[in-house]
Amino acid sequence: MKLYFSPEACSLSPHIVLNELGLPFTTVNVDTKTKKTADGRDFLRINPKGYVPALELDDGEVLSEGPAIVQYLADLKPEKKLAPANGTLERARLQEWLNFITSELHKSYSPLFSPAMPAAAKAIFKDKLEQRYAFIAKTLDRQDYLLGAHFTVADAYLFVVTRWARHFDIDVNQWPSLAKFMERVGARAAVKLALNAESQAKKAA
C-alpha cells in the first residue's frame, strides 16, 4: 500500500494507524498547494479531490477520506481492535466519533489556516472549537479513550487534529483530561514513529 500524505496534515491519522497495525506500506509526500508529489507526479491524477490522505491499494485502487481509510485499515487486522466489528453498536459509536471529529473539529480548523479569513470570523470558529473540546473532555473525564479503555482509530484522528490547537492559542490544558489524552497518545510507539517520519519528510522537502 502507498499513503499519500502531507507532513502533520490530517493524513497523519492513517499514518499512525498503519504503524499501529504493522502493515507494510510506503509514503509519498504531496505538496497540496502545487498538487505535485515528491517524485514529480500530478496528484490530481491520483486523487482528483486534490487533498490528502489518499491510500493506493496494491491493486491500484485509491481510497480517499481519512475516516474511510482508517476504518478500512483497521478491518484488515481486526485482532488489533482498532475498530469494533462491523454491524455492532460499538462500530456505530466509532463512526459517530469519526463524524464528529470530521465535521465539528477538522472543518472548524480549516478556516483558521486561511490568511484570507477575517479575524472576527476566526474568533467564531475558535469559540466553536473550544465548545466542542469541552464536550469531548466530559467523555475523557470518565475514560482514557473515546470508546473506553482501548485506543481506536478515532483516538488517532482526535490526536492529529488537536495538535493543530497550538497554532491558534487554544490551550488544551484548560481541559485536563484532554491534555492527559494527548500525552497518552503521543507516547505510543506508532505515533512517535509517524511523527518522526513526517518531520524528516518535511526537512527533505
Q: What is the pLDDT of residues 23-67, one digit of tens each?
A: 999 999 999 999 999 999 999 999 999 999 999 999 999 999 999
Query: Nearest-CA neighbor of 158 among 191, 127, 126?
Result: 191
Q: What are phi and psi of 28, to 5 degrees?
A: -130, 120
- Nearest partner of 42 among 30, 53, 54, 52, judged by Cα: 30
Tell me the domain boundaries of the chain: 2-80+190-204, 89-188
- What is the C-alpha to C-alpha distance for residues 52 and 127, in angstroms, rounded to an integer? 26
Confidence of residue 205 (pLDDT cuts 50, 70, 90): confident
The C-alpha atoms of residue 156 and residue 19 are separated, in whole angstroms, by 11
**Topology alike, domains 2-80+190-204 and 89-188:** no
**pLDDT tens-digit map of 91-150:** 999 999 999 999 999 999 999 999 999 999 999 999 999 999 999 999 999 999 999 999
Label residue 204 by pLDDT band (50, 70, 90): confident
Would you list the DSSP string of 112-146? GG-TTS-HHHHHHHHHHHHHHHHHHHHHHTT-SBT
State the CATH class of domain 89-188. Answer: mainly alpha
pLDDT value of position 94: 98
Given a cut of 90, is residue 9 above it in pLDDT? Answer: yes
CATH number of 2-80+190-204: 3.40.30.10
Nearest to 177 by CA among 169, 185, 165, 187: 185
Task: Read off the C-alpha cell for 203.
Answer: 526537512
Task: Give the Å distances, CA to CA, from 112 to 34, 165, 166.
Answer: 21, 10, 12
Grid cell for residue 60: 491500484
CA distances from 183 to 38, 39, 150, 205 (A): 32, 35, 15, 28
Residue 3 has what pLDDT?
A: 98
CA distance 164 to 162: 5
